[in-house]
Structure 1
Amino acid sequence: MVQLFPRRVERPMTDLFGELAELLVQTTDTHSKLLGHGYRERTRIAPKLHEESTRAEELCRRISQRLAQSLITPYEAELLYDLALTIADTVDSMEHTAELLVLSRVGALPTPLLEAAKGIERAAELTVAATWTLHRVRDLGEYYPQIRKLKRQGDRLVRQSLAELYGRGGAVTELLPLHDITESIGRTIALQEHIARLADLLRVKDA
């Protein structure tokens, strides 16, 4: 079995991926709180999402530097870098949702979106566990299938939210912001599936 992380860089590399995944978990928690509150609390919570997004970008930069010093193949390095970038993009996607919520000043969100946020949290928890096995990717096991299941559930909740939105009608100025917020949450769900797919490609490559 090929070791993705040579011993001389194994601990720092896995630590950085673990830190990035832990940041993802923190962000999903912040994201859920923001979705569940009203405008005033959202304005207080939103800056934290910006801080987390900035931190994720910094961790990606450090990971890219570690990869440049590692002895792994270019293919593996590219997958790992894409993995880190996609985690950071997921954090950024949640910040984008926060910006839309604050700028549009929408009120309570449809219940399906709050349920989708819980699925996003669960996917982040699974991603943390997956990063612990990146140095032995054959142990990733059911990570990708579990995320795929969560994505299907999340996509269904997003569709339900859109159906509720258009079913109740209203002015376009009210519907459009909610549509954009729903689409942004859907993008976060899709990015989490992409994280898992990249990790699974590493597993397949090492099989």
Structure 2
Amino acid sequence: MMQFLSRLFPQRTERPLYGLFTELAELLVQAADTHSKLLGHGIRERTRIAPRLHEQATVAEELCRRIAERLAHSLITPYEAELLYDFALTMADAVDAMEHTAELLVLTSTGALPTPLMEAAKGIERASELTVAATWKLAGVRDLGEYYAQVRKLKRQGDRLVRRALAEISSRGGSTGELLPLHDVAHSLRDTIVLLEKLARIADLLRVKDA
């Protein structure tokens, strides 16, 4: 009877430690997709989509807390635990940065964004996808391969796109009240790009340490 009940109502089990990192990275991908959709829509749709990013940022914080608890009771070295926690925290910070961009767009009722910013958002999506693949290899970090190099390339591309967007915004003309929100959004996107590059750099530190 007990065996039957356990099959009918299986107990919830905690995912393995590295599985939690993958879960967080998958959430990062979802947030990047939500972020791109929000940037591409008008004011009304952005207001509808923004709460989804808030929910994703909240879940990311909760996953960070769970990871911290698991690391506190793990057998890995304090140095590795610190890097792994920083890795998780930076992922959550990246989701939070995307939520911040959403808040800026909604609160300021900003109109259509320059095309380079939409392209930069696609780079954020790609870096997030690379992060998921990297988390599959955290247990054997020597296999991380070109993760850091690929994200570095995306960061350089993102920096160029943000600079192009800022130049386009400046050339538009208009009042400070119209231009300043666009500048803030562009810099907020760059903050997300910087965090994703930091994320890959932390993973590379783990790889170098294990070499």
Q: Which residue does 2:174 correspond to in 1? A: 170
- 1:107-164 per-residue CA deviation (whole Å, 9 max, x = no partner) reads 1000000000000000000000000000000000000000000000000000000000
Describe how 1:1-207 pairs up with structure 2 within 5 A. Answer: 12-207=16-211
* Sequence identity (%): 76
TM-score, normalised to structure 2, is 0.93
Matches of 2:16 and 2:100, distance apart in 1:
30
What is the CA-CA distance between 1:169 and the residue it aligns to? Answer: 1.4
- Deviation >6 Å, runs of 4+: none
1:59-81 C-alpha deviation (Å, 9 max, x unpaired): 00000000001011111000000
1:12: Cα distance to partner? 1.1
Cα distance, 1:168 vs structure 2: 1.4
Cα distance in 2, alignment partners of residues 58 and 12 from structure 1: 16
Q: Which residue of 2 aligns with 1:8?
A: none
Cα displacement string for residues 4-43 of structure 1 (whole angstroms, at most 9, x for unaligned residues): xxxxxxx611110000000000000000000000000000
Larger Rg: 2
The TM-score with structure 1 as length reference comes to 0.95
| Partner-residue secondary structure (3-state), 1:77 | helix
SS in structure 1 at match of 2:16: helix
Structure 2 residues without counterparts, runs of 5 or longer: 1-14
Aligned residues: 198
Q: Which SS does the other structure have where 1:166 is aligned?
A: helix
Q: How far did 1:170 drift?
A: 1.0
- 3-state DSSP class of the match of 2:116? helix
